[in-house]
Amino acid sequence: MKILVINSGSSSIKFALYLMPTRDLLASGLVERIGENEGALHFKYDDNKIDIIRRVLNHKDGLEAISEFLLNDQYGIVASEEEIQAVGHRVVHGGEKFHDTVVVDDAVKDTVRELSNLAPLHNPPNLLGIEESEKVFKHAIQVAVFDTAFHQTLPMNAYREPLPPEFYERYGIRKYGFHGTSHSYVAKRAADYLNKDLKECNFITLHLGNGCSATAIKNGRSVDTSLGMTTIGGLMMGTRIGDIDPGVVLHLVEDIGMGTSEVKKLLGKNSGLKGVAGDNDMRELSIRYEQGDESARLAIELYTYRIKKFIGAYMAVVGSPLDAVIFTAGVGENSPLIRRMVCSNLEPLGIQFNYEANESLRSSQEVNELSTTDSLVKVLTVPTNEELEIANESFRMLQHQEAL
Ligand code: ADP
């Protein structure tokens, strides 16, 4: 059986096709610049790459191009459309409505549409991807996997903000959390690696990509996470600010006279690593850091100091012995410098970092251990794979339907 995973954005559609239950990646790709004069299609299967420049009118056109590629006899990826039994969609915001993955029906689509007020840039194109996929992949069930669902287990003291209750009740202002698919996937892989039942595992997972978030996981469930109602709070990120005194925002508007769209751009696109050092690519910043560049040093020190603080805070939140601190995503999996700066001097917290193992670790698809054998808390790198997790979830939904 084959499962297609779709991540539909405003002007692009990413996809991956998996053979299940073996989890083999059969094909993947990206359709970008949808609606522009020159769209681009990038397809991959086995060791082959296909790049096509042509106009992609809209999301339906993009999905049809993906379908034609997958069904093309020449490539032999999918023999007939019926082989694709499920299409799993990434949906950014499930609000308080979705605690788990769901099979899409009209009610689900209506709710995703209603939740667009919480994620105006993401939910509408995610929904469009679902609606068009229903037309193009008619034989498949459509499945929605929410970035927020894993964090619906947060206790009230973690998700409520100290505001008058009507702000929660009328406007839904609370912490929802994001990157849930990634945090959940790496937690499961770490539990497998440790040969433990996930329900007995306590972790701090650090998703450090362009977007960054930390999650406290107790008995396999998310009990706190650093992203809140939107995707700009918590850890310092590539271009997003992370936590800041809210009075600063008022100061920017009232005293400095910035408009709301300017402030939005500053906090979301021109802060974080890019704001401090002019670049959000950690590879470049690391080179500059090693060369003694002052702004790169400041950016990396701010970035790692904040991650350290979250580790301390989340240890207190979990309140039971921690099995592991887990690094994942582009920076977490690949940057010895960042891992070293985050994990140095954490011995009082039971973390004995293995500096040698850290420096010698190269990009890896496996789980790797970066703590010494006598460390009370392990430090692991676990490569994330959100597409595979969406395929796993879609497969689970198919099995559930068959069992009914
Ligand atoms: P996203 O999915 O959020 O766009 P990724 O998880 O792909 O992001 O992570 C992107 C980040 O990972 C970039 O800042 C990039 O510089 C960083 N990165 C990738 N490889 C390395 C590396 N070898 N060393 C340091 N940083 C890296």
Distance CA 377, CA 171 (A): 40
pLDDT over 70, % of the chain: 100
220 inside domain:
yes
Nearest ligand 1 atom to the CA of 286 is: 25
Q: How far is the CA of 201 from the centre of ligand 1 (A)?
A: 27
399 inside domain:
no
DSSP code at position 255:
T
Q: Does the beta carbon of 293 sit less than 6 angstroms from any atom of ligand 1?
A: no
Give the pLDDT confidence of 212-246 residue by residue, as tens digits.
Answer: 999 999 999 999 999 999 999 999 999 999 999 99
Q: Which domain holds residue 262?
A: 198-386
Split at pLDDT 50, 70, 90, the class of 404 is confident
The mean per-residue pLDDT over the stretch 109-136 comes to 95
Domain edge (last residue) among 127, 146, 165: 146
Split at pLDDT 50, 70, 90, the class of 389 is very high
* Beta bridge pairs of residue 40: 32, 53
Distance CA 151, CA 149 (A): 5
Give the pLDDT confidence of 280-339 residue by residue, as tens digits.
Answer: 999 999 999 999 999 999 999 999 999 999 999 999 999 999 999 999 999 999 999 999
278 phi and psi, to 5 degrees? 80, 5
Q: Are residues 221 and 285 in the same domain?
A: yes
Count of all residues that appear for the chain in the document: 404
Q: Does the beta carbon of 111 sit less than 6 angstroms from any atom of ligand 1?
A: no
DSSP code at position 403:
H
Q: What is the pTM of this model?
A: 0.96
Q: Are residues 255 and 327 in the same domain?
A: yes
pLDDT score of 402: 84
Q: How far is the CA of 355 from the centre of ligand 1 (A)?
A: 21
Q: Are residues 16 and 136 in the same domain?
A: yes
Nearest ligand 1 atom to the CA of 273 is: 14
Domain edge (last residue) among 115, 131, 146: 146
Give the pLDDT confidence of 6-51 residue by residue, as tens digits.
Answer: 999 999 999 999 999 999 999 999 999 999 999 999 999 999 999 9
* Beta bridge pairs of residue 24: 19
End-to-end CA distance of the chain: 19
Candidate from 206, 282, 340, 358 with most ligand 1 atoms within 8 A of CB, to mutate: 282
Q: Does the beta carbon of 196 sit less than 6 angstroms from any atom of ligand 1?
A: no
Q: How far is the CA of 327 from the centre of ligand 1 (A)?
A: 12
Name the CA dihedral angle for 65, 69, 71, 75, rounded to a multiple of 10 degrees: 170
Q: How far is the CA of 332 from the centre of ligand 1 (A)?
A: 8
Q: Are residues 205 and 320 in the same domain?
A: yes
The mean per-residue pLDDT over the stretch 85-114 comes to 97
Distance CA 206, CA 219 (A): 17
| Residue whose CA is at the smallest distance from ligand 1 atom 23 | 334
320 Cβ contact list (under 8 Å, min separation 6): 202, 218
Q: Are residues 206 and 128 in the same domain?
A: no
Candidate from 12, 183, 283 with most ligand 1 atoms within 8 A of CB, to mutate: 283
Q: Are residues 139 and 230 in the same domain?
A: no
185 inside domain:
no
Strand, helix or coil at 13?
Answer: strand
pLDDT score of 364: 86
Candidate from 210, 276, 284, 287 with most ligand 1 atoms within 8 A of CB, to mutate: 210
Q: Is the pLDDT of residue 209 over 90?
A: yes
108 inside domain:
yes
Beta strands at 48-54 and 39-45: parallel, antiparallel or unpaired: antiparallel
Q: Does the beta carbon of 335 sit less than 6 angstroms from any atom of ligand 1?
A: yes
Q: Are residues 90 and 232 in the same domain?
A: no
Q: Does the beta carbon of 243 sit less than 6 angstroms from any atom of ligand 1?
A: no
Q: DSSP labels for 81-128?
A: GGGEEEEEEEES--TTT-SS-EE--HHHHHHHHHGGGTSTTTHHHHHH
Q: How far is the CA of 142 from the centre of ligand 1 (A)?
A: 30
Q: Are residues 212 and 334 in the same domain?
A: yes
Q: Are residues 255 and 382 in the same domain?
A: yes
CA separation, residue 382 to residues 116, 138, 221 (Å): 32, 36, 18
pLDDT over 90, % of the chain: 98
Strand, helix or coil at 259?
Answer: coil
174 inside domain:
no
Q: Does the beta carbon of 282 sit less than 6 angstroms from any atom of ligand 1?
A: yes
182 inside domain:
no
Q: Are residues 260 and 370 in the same domain?
A: yes
Per-residue buried b or exposed e for 107-135, using 16+ beta carbons within 10 Å of the residue's own CB: ebbebbeebbebbeebbebbbbbbebbbe
315 Cβ contact list (under 8 Å, min separation 6): 204, 322, 349
DSSP code at position 121:
T
Q: Using an 8 Å Cβ cutoff, are 238 and 210 in contact?
A: yes
Radius of gyration in angstroms for the set of CA atoms belonging to the chain, rounded to a whole number: 22
181 inside domain:
no
Write out the two tokens for 378. Answer: 């392990």
Name the one residue in this structure whose structure tokens are 């408009």. 259
Q: How many helices (H) and strands (E) does the chain have?
A: 15, 14
CATH number where 307 lies = 3.30.420.40
Q: How far is the CA of 330 from the centre of ligand 1 (A)?
A: 3
Nearest ligand 1 atom to the CA of 281 is: 16
Beta strands at 203-208 and 212-218: parallel, antiparallel or unpaired: antiparallel
pLDDT score of 362: 85
Distance CA 378, CA 351 (A): 7
Q: How far is the CA of 193 from the centre of ligand 1 (A)?
A: 24
pLDDT score of 6: 98
79 inside domain:
yes
Mean pLDDT, the chain, integer: 97
23 phi and psi, to 5 degrees? 70, 25
Nearest ligand 1 atom to the CA of 338 is: 25
Distance CA 35, CA 362 (A): 39
Q: Which of 189, 108, 186, 139 is nearest to 398 (CA)?
A: 139
Q: Are residues 105 and 252 in the same domain?
A: no
pLDDT score of 363: 83
Total number of domains constituting the chain: 2
Q: Are residues 234 and 365 in the same domain?
A: yes
Split at pLDDT 50, 70, 90, the class of 372 is very high
| Residue whose CA is at the smallest distance from ligand 1 atom 4 | 210
